[in-house]
Amino acid sequence: MESYEERVRNIVNHLTPPREVLMNDCSSSSEEQILNSNETSSSSTLTWNKQELFEYLEAAPQHIKVAKKKLQELLKDPIFAPKYNMNVQQWRELTLQRALVIIKAGAISLAEFNRDPMKYLISMEMLNLVDPSLSVKLGVHFSLFGNAVLNLGTEKHHIKYIKDIDTWKLPGCFGMTELGHGSNVQGVETTATYDKTTQEFIINTPSDSAQKFWIGNAACHGQACSVFAQLYIDNVHYGVHVFIVPIRNADGTTAENVRIMDNGHKLGLQGVDNGRLWFDNKRIPRDNLLNKFGDVEKDGTYVSSIPSKSKRFGSMVAPLVGGRVLIAASALNVSKMALMIATRYAYSRRQFGSKGNEIRIIEYLTHQRRLFPMIATSVALSFAVEKLKRIYCEPNKSSQNVKDLHVWSSGLKAVVSWTKTNILQLTRECCGGQGFSSFNQIALFKSDLEIDMTYEGDNHVLLQQVARNLLVELQKGRYTLTNPNHDSSNIHDYDFQVQTLKWRESDLVSTLSQKIMAQLDQGRSLEQGWNTCLDTITLLGKAFVDRITLEEFQLGIKNAPSSLKAVLELCRNLFFSWKVNEDLGYFLCHDGLATSTAQKIQDSINVLCSDMLPIGLDLVNSFNIPEQFIHAPISKPDYIQEFRYGLKRDY
């Protein structure tokens, strides 16, 4: 009979991964060689050029690459060096000074936004990697306030405001959200009443629930605000319109008949001065109405080419969808950066194993199952987000482009921001205590970007937009239902994969339609029926995004250089298996998969993680994230040296 000590030793040996799982090309390498591997990545099965994959994922034309390099040089200015140990006032001042450097250099402008929206998007994405507070502050000024002037105003507004917006002479705010109304913008309470005798609008906050809330740039720096308000002329209601309302004078004092309060300390984005606004019958000139979709003549006659209030409102908010596009793209970049930091650390950090020969934590299956599926998901989403950006930047959008932009931006903003939040949590845990340190970047991204899920549209509400569109398509006979595929011969075959995801989506569309019709047959209103189906609606929105992501991923693989196809296919297979495994209950309960097929898919995850182990490090090092933005000590080749005694990090 074995002794107690022998039994413990056998158990430990059983739980410790065998040395055979070490990467063939790294078993005798130093940490520096592991993290800074050669130009070409290789394992026994996969070889690819890392720079080639970097550029393929970047998918940028030459003039944008040049602009990125120029912005990267600007961001080497010491003012953009990481700095965390500050109070709120210091955060805000630093963010303002950083913004002024960007504006003075002409790196971000409303003119650029109008002329080359792709360049603008990518520039803002880069700023988000440096400092989310900076990108949000500039985003409020340009993407929201400036964009409202540009796309809701007319020539007189462009002449009056754009130059001052581009030079920060007129710092702007975006006054949509109220204390009592967020997602339901058509329900805002702020009023704009036209006075024919003076040819002015009277902007008023009728109650405390109507105060403008969480208004970026309002607490300290904003001088003008694009205010969403209900228009009234001679007691007739004309719906929500947007007005330019002064809130501060040029000397920084509060404008007459305006009250401002600070929103105070927040979970994150301490550099953004969010504030609250009240208007006490604030009078503004008639020309301050942004009148592209509706105007008021001197005598009070209302003029619009769109007679329906709801359609007019839809036309007003449609140009503002760029915020969702930017959130999706920025969230994906942060996901990649966090995965780069955590994966590099995982290939260096050693824990447990035989004395003096501890094992890298990436060799533990629990670590692989947290990081590798998220790496595959980030690669997959790269192609879907890139397609979304192309739709958004299309200069002459067809009606189909406009509809696709609304649906895709709603779905991808929700799913990518949720994915980012999950990745930040997983990578924080994978880095152990080091993930808790601000120095290692993940913790700050967690707090700063938590807001992604609820601003520019609450994610659950946005997925309702996706589901509503699919339901309309089904009712109009433009949606093709898909049958399940119970053939389990090859779960890595793309045709099987896409049919599986199409089936889930179409089954949810059909189920939703049947549920709502049943509610209507019982005498309930459409609103009541919709509310009883919100769980199905949310699942449908997510299923739609999973399906379009897989389809765009496959197009990316098809168009990729032959040297990249194998590694991309590995990522596609892991993405598919992980997504199905996450929702395995639905597939099995609704006969979308045979039990044996479901088991194959579930079992494939560990195998695919094993396949990714030799190349995982090189894969994240191929991500299209500039190295200069990664300063986490644990991401460095010899991270222990980054913590040597006497080395101070004065930030």
pLDDT in tens, 529-582: 999 999 999 999 999 999 999 999 999 999 999 999 999 999 999 999 999 999
From the list 178, 456, 505, 551, the catalytic residue is: 456
**Does the annotation list 177 as a binding residue?**
yes
Q: Which of 313, 347, 374 is the last residue of a domain?
A: 313
- Reduced 3-state DSSP string for 558-622: HHCCHHHHHHHHHHHHHHHHHHHHHCHHHHHHCCCCCHHHHHHHHHHHHHHHHHHCCCHHHHHCC
Task: Please report the pLDDT score of residue 46 as a whole number.
Answer: 79
What is the C-alpha separation between 173 and 216, in angstroms, rounded? 6
Q: What is the mean pLDDT of residues 192-214?
A: 98
Is residue 531 domain-shared with residue 594, that is, in the same domain? yes
User: Does some domain include residue 27?
Assistant: no
Task: Give how far Cα 81 sits from Cα of 95, 174, 180, 331, Å.
Answer: 12, 29, 39, 21
Q: What is the mean pLDDT of residues 402-407?
A: 93
User: Does some domain include residue 133?
Assistant: yes
Is residue 233 domain-shared with residue 304, that is, in the same domain? yes
Q: What is the CATH number of the domain that holds 628?
A: 1.20.140.10
Question: Is residue 33 very low, low, confident or very high in pLDDT (cuts 50, 70, 90)?
Answer: very low
Q: Exposed (0-12), middle (13-18) or buried (19+): which is 647, by Cβ within 10 Å?
A: exposed
User: Does some domain include residue 35?
Assistant: no
What is the C-alpha separation between 128 and 135, in angstroms, rounded? 5
List the domain range (segments joined by +) for residue 101.
57-165
Is residue 110 domain-shared with residue 259, that is, in the same domain? no
Is residue 135 domain-shared with residue 193, that is, in the same domain? no
Is there a catalytic annotation at residue 394? no
**Does the annotation list 216 as a binding residue?**
yes
Task: Please report the pLDDT score of residue 429 as a whole number.
Answer: 98
What is the C-alpha separation between 481 and 50, in angstroms, rounded? 40
Q: What is the mean pLDDT of residues 359-372?
A: 96
Instruction: Give 311's contacts (C-beta < 8 A, 6+ positions apart).
Output: none
269 closest CA partner among 441, 88, 138, 75: 88
The 8-class DSSP code of residue 248 comes to: B
User: Does some domain include residue 157?
Assistant: yes
Could you tell me if 515 and 532 are in contact, meaning their C-beta atoms sit under 8 angstroms apart?
A: yes
Could you tell me if 571 and 380 are in contact, meaning their C-beta atoms sit under 8 angstroms apart?
A: yes
26 closest CA partner among 520, 615, 624, 503: 615
Is residue 230 domain-shared with residue 175, that is, in the same domain? yes
Could you tell me if 290 and 244 are in contact, meaning their C-beta atoms sit under 8 angstroms apart?
A: yes
Is residue 306 domain-shared with residue 396, that is, in the same domain? no
291 closest CA partner among 218, 234, 231, 210: 231
What is the C-alpha separation between 322 and 405, in angstroms, rounded? 9
Q: Which of 313, 331, 366 is the last residue of a domain?
A: 313
User: Does some domain include residue 40?
Assistant: no
Q: Which of 165, 181, 207 is the last residue of a domain?
A: 165
Is residue 337 domain-shared with residue 428, that is, in the same domain? yes
What is the C-alpha separation between 116 and 393, in angstroms, rounded? 8
Is residue 270 domain-shared with residue 371, that is, in the same domain? no
320-331 in b/e burial notation, b at 16+ Cβ within 10 A?
bbbbbbbbbbbb
pLDDT at 27 over 70: no
75-110 in b/e burial notation, b at 16+ Cβ within 10 A?
beeeebebeeeeeeeebbebbbebbebbbeeebbbb
Could you tell me if 35 and 636 are in contact, meaning their C-beta atoms sit under 8 angstroms apart?
A: yes
What is the C-alpha separation between 612 and 474, in angstroms, rounded? 40
Task: Please report the pLDDT score of residue 259 as a whole number.
Answer: 98
In tens, the pLDDT along 132-144 reads 999 999 999 999 9
Is residue 71 domain-shared with residue 123, that is, in the same domain? yes
Is residue 151 domain-shared with residue 246, that is, in the same domain? no
Task: Please report the pLDDT score of residue 3 as a whole number.
Answer: 53
In tens, the pLDDT along 59-117 reads 888 999 999 999 999 999 999 999 999 999 999 999 999 999 999 999 999 988 889 99
pLDDT at 311 over 80: yes
Side chain identity at residue 45, one-letter code = T
Could you tell me if 374 and 335 are in contact, meaning their C-beta atoms sit under 8 angstroms apart?
A: yes
Q: Which residues are 233's β-sheet partners? A: 236
Q: Compute the Cα dihedral for 128, 131, 132, 134 and give only its sign.
A: negative
What is the C-alpha separation between 464 and 414, in angstroms, rounded? 11
What is the C-alpha separation between 548 and 22, in angstroms, rounded? 36
What is the C-alpha separation between 259 and 266, in angstroms, rounded? 21
Side chain identity at residue 491, one-letter code = I
Question: Is residue 355 very low, low, confident or very high in pLDDT (cuts 50, 70, 90)?
Answer: confident
Task: Please report the pLDDT score of residue 45 as a whole number.
Answer: 58
Question: Is residue 35 very low, low, confident or very high in pLDDT (cuts 50, 70, 90)?
Answer: very low
Q: What is the mean pLDDT of residues 621-646?
A: 92
- Retrieve residue 553's tokens: 């991923």
Report angle CA 175, 180, 183 to the nearest 5 degrees.
65
Task: Please report the pLDDT score of residue 314 as a whole number.
Answer: 87
User: Does some domain include residue 25?
Assistant: no
What is the C-alpha separation between 303 and 350, in angstroms, rounded? 70
Is residue 350 domain-shared with residue 470, that is, in the same domain? yes
User: Does some domain include residue 518?
Assistant: yes
Neighbours of 474 (CB within 10 A): 17
Q: What is the CATH number of the domain that holds 258?
A: 2.40.110.10
- Retrieve residue 610's tokens: 């094993």
Query: For the chain, what is the domain count?
Result: 3
Instruction: Give 220's contacts (C-beta < 8 A, 6+ positions apart).
Output: 92, 96, 262, 273, 275
Is residue 348 domain-shared with residue 302, that is, in the same domain? no
User: Does some domain include residue 5?
Assistant: no
Task: Please report the pLDDT score of residue 122 as a whole number.
Answer: 95
Instruction: Give 413's contacts (C-beta < 8 A, 6+ positions apart).
Output: 324, 325, 327, 328, 456, 457, 459, 462
579-594 in b/e burial notation, b at 16+ Cβ within 10 A?
bbbebbebbeeeebbb
Q: What is the mean pLDDT of residues 24-53?
A: 53
